[in-house]
């Protein structure tokens, strides 16, 4: 699955308790990639994004408690986990000014090309990261292990969500998710450990449903 990223200069307040308040994205500003987020793009949010560092799913910094649109953009409020080494480091670098940006990881659901650039009118928001560089390169998921952290319930939910977005029926999506989970379980038994599933392994499991 391919995510896209959009950088925003850090407009956030961070206190000593690790509370963060600010904007992860602003409306009406054309970025270096020619994209413009328009008001309403985040109106359909149904889940809270993850708080990450550098768009790395293994680098969880804390939690976003409040995520909503206002007149200016995507307003976020969250808590950095100061009980973790990563949280302490990110918090320290934010206060020092070494980290000066946030970036959203998303999939475009409704995008229209205009004379001014590509307008993002509806996005599926996955995560909001603290980042050191703008316009992070596109990233491809190499292993489901990086998505679900070894949790079979999250793995099945991930596969179901992706197929439902591709207009598969609920029954088809559940069957596919069960097939992928079964392949992982068989590999764990044979290998004695969880090495993650490659995209090719997932593809072959889904083809086996035909």
Q: Are residues 17 and 34 in the same domain?
A: yes
Residue 56, CB half-sphere, CA atoms under 13 Å: how many? 10
Q: Are residues 115 and 29 in the same domain?
A: yes
Q: Are residues 39 and 83 in the same domain?
A: yes
The count of other CB atoms within 10 Å of the CB of residue 87 is 19
Outline where DSSP puts E strands in the chain: 2-9, 11-14, 19-26, 35-37, 50-53, 56-69, 73-80, 101-113, 118-131, 139-140
Residue 126, CB half-sphere, CA atoms under 13 Å: how many? 19
Q: Are residues 151 and 49 in the same domain?
A: no
What's the structural domain count of the chain? 2
Q: Are residues 120 and 166 in the same domain?
A: no
Q: Are residues 89 and 128 in the same domain?
A: yes
Q: Are residues 36 and 119 in the same domain?
A: yes
User: What is the structure's pLDDT at 8?
Assistant: 78
The string of pLDDT tens digits covering residues 32-59 is: 667 889 999 999 888 899 999 988 889 9
Q: Are strands 56-69 and 35-37 parallel, antiparallel or unpaired?
A: unpaired
pTM over 0.75: no
Q: How confident is the model over 8-14, as a mean pLDDT?
A: 79
Residue ending a domain, among 137, 169, 196, is 137
Q: Are residues 49 and 70 in the same domain?
A: yes
Residue ending a domain, among 113, 137, 161, is 137
Average pLDDT, the chain: 77
**In whole angstroms, how large is the CA radius of gyration of the chain?**
19
Helix then strand then coil, % of the chain, to nearest 5: 30, 40, 30
Q: Are residues 15 and 118 in the same domain?
A: yes
Q: Are residues 89 and 161 in the same domain?
A: no
Q: Are residues 127 and 195 in the same domain?
A: no
User: What is the structure's pLDDT at 175?
Assistant: 82
- Decide: helix, strand or coil at residue 18: coil
Task: Find the domain containing 113 and state its range.
Answer: 2-137
Q: Which two tokens stand for residue 145?
A: 């292990």
The string of pLDDT tens digits covering residues 99-156 is: 878 889 898 889 898 888 889 999 999 999 998 765 433 322 334 444 444 556 666 7
Residue ending a domain, among 92, 109, 137, is 137
Q: Are residues 80 and 40 in the same domain?
A: yes
Residue 17 φ then ψ, to 5°: -90, 0
């Amino acid at each position: 699955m391919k995510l896209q990223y959009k950088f925003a200069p850090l407009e956030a307040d961070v206190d000593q308790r690790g509370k963060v308040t600010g904007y992860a994205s602003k409306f009406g500003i054309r970025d270096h990639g020619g994209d413009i987020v328009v008001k309403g793009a985040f109106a359909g949010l149904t889940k809270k994004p993850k708080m990450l560092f550098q768009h790395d799913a293994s680098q969880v910094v804390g939690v976003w408690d409040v995520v909503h649109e206002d007149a200016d953009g995507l307003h976020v409020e969250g808590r950095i986990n100061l009980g973790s080494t990563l949280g302490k480091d990110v918090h320290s670098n934010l206060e020092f000014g070494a980290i000066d940006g946030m970036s959203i990881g998303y999939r475009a659901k409704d995008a229209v090309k205009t004379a001014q650039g590509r307008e993002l009118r509806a996005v599926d928001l996955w995560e909001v990261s603290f980042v050191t560089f703008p316009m992070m390169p596109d990233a491809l998921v190499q292993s489901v292990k990086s998505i679900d952290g070894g949790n079979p319930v999250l793995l099945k939910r991930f596969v179901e969500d992706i197929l439902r977005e591709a207009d598969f029926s609920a029954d088809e999506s559940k069957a596919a998710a069960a097939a992928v989970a079964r392949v992982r379980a068989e590999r764990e038994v044979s290998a004695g450990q969880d090495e993650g599933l490659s995209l090719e392994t997932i593809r072959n499991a889904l083809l086996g449903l035909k």
